[in-house]
């Protein structure tokens, strides 16, 4: 009986100690909570500083934070959208990018057409860039670079915030490449860009025809991406 009572008492002691350990917060969680609190205070303090400089900066600051949060939670990345179909067969991000293109296309056409009808300068008219060899070379180099690095511009910034060391290195060389490109841009503009043709689809097909062709192309790519994923799953 004495041994049974001792065994029962030891069991009760172990259960009580385990419950006490369960109630005791882990040091890692405590450190994480403190770190998050410090980050939150720093963000609020920086927002107050921006408000003192210019109230418009606060709006841009909030948009940037929201955009980064959405990117991090959705794992939205142009690199994955172009890489995953051939690497894993998944096209979820590819279709998400196509949907984003469709929405932004309609929104931009609406804004530009509204300005055109009222005789106002069209938003984004200054960004109708010439199509030249520089476009092909730049797209090819950027495509290879973002696949090797594992992230596009937005994906790199988002993953740097998450602490990915490789993307930190990619960000450094992203900045270096941007500086070199800006330094050599004058040469490219004089020899390849300046006399290259500019194509604005509403000037060629009309406003309705331009948006119809663009949405038709996006819908075709969406269907192809969906069929590609279904085919890869069935094989």
pLDDT tens track for 42-52: 878 887 887 78
Q: How far apart (Å, rounded) are the C-alpha atoms in residues 102 and 219?
A: 9
Range 77-93 average pLDDT: 80
Read off the pLDDT band of 215 (50, 70, 90): very high
Question: What is the distance between the alpha carbons of residues 183 and 191, in angstroms, rounded to a whole number?
Answer: 15
CA angle at 108 for the pair 195 and 153, rounded to the nearest 5°? 70
pTM over 0.85: no
Tokens (6 digits) for 194: 């300046």
Which residue has 């490219």 as its token pair?
Answer: 188
Q: Is the pLDDT reported for residue 219 higher than 80?
A: yes
Give the whole-angstrom CA distance, residue 226 versus residue 168: 33
Q: Is the pLDDT of residue 26 over 70?
A: no
Provide the CA 137 distance to its chain's centre, in angstroms: 23
d(CA 82, CA 73): 19
Cα 193 from chain centroid?
28
CA gap 5, 50 in Å, rounded: 68
Structure tokens given for 152: 């596009």
pLDDT category of residue 61 using cuts at 50, 70 and 90? confident
Mean pLDDT of 156-185: 83
Using the predicted structure, report yes or no on whether residue 188 has a pLDDT greater than 60. yes
The predicted pLDDT at position 2 comes to: 45
CA distances to 125, 136, 176, 183, 219 from 201, in Å: 12, 19, 34, 31, 18
pLDDT category at 84 given cuts 50, 70, 90 is confident
What is the C-alpha separation between 193 and 200, in angstroms, rounded?
A: 16
Digit-coded pLDDT (tens) for 106-146: 988 888 888 888 877 777 777 777 887 778 888 888 888 88
CA separation for the pair 1, 3 (Å, rounded): 5
Report DSSP letters for 59-77, one per residue. HHHHHHHHHHHHHHHHT--
């Amino acid at each position: 009986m004495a041994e049974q009572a001792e065994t029962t008492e030891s069991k009760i002691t172990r259960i009580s100690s385990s419950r006490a350990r369960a109630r005791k917060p882990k040091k890692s969680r405590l450190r994480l909570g403190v770190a998050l609190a410090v980050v939150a205070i720093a963000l609020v303090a920086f927002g107050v500083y921006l408000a003192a400089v210019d109230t418009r900066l606060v709006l841009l600051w909030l948009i940037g934070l929201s955009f980064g949060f959405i990117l991090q939670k959705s794992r939205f990345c142009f690199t994955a959208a172009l890489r995953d179909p051939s690497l894993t067969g998944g096209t979820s991000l590819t279709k998400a990018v196509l949907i984003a293109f469709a929405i932004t296309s309609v929104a931009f056409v609406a804004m530009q057409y509204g300005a055109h009808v009222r005789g106002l300068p069209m938003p984004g008219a200054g960004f109708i860039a010439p199509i030249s060899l520089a476009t092909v070379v730049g797209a090819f180099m950027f495509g290879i670079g973002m696949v090797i690095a594992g992230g596009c511009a937005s994906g790199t910034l988002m993953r740097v915030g998450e602490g990915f060391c490789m993307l930190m290195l990619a960000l450094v060389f992203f900045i270096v490449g941007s500086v070199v490109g800006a330094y050599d841009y004058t040469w490219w503009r004089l020899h390849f860009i300046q006399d290259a043709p500019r194509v604005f689809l509403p000037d060629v097909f009309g406003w309705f025809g331009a948006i119809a062709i663009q949405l038709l192309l996006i819908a075709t790519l969406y269907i192809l991406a969906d069929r590609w994923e279904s085919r890869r799953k069935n094989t």
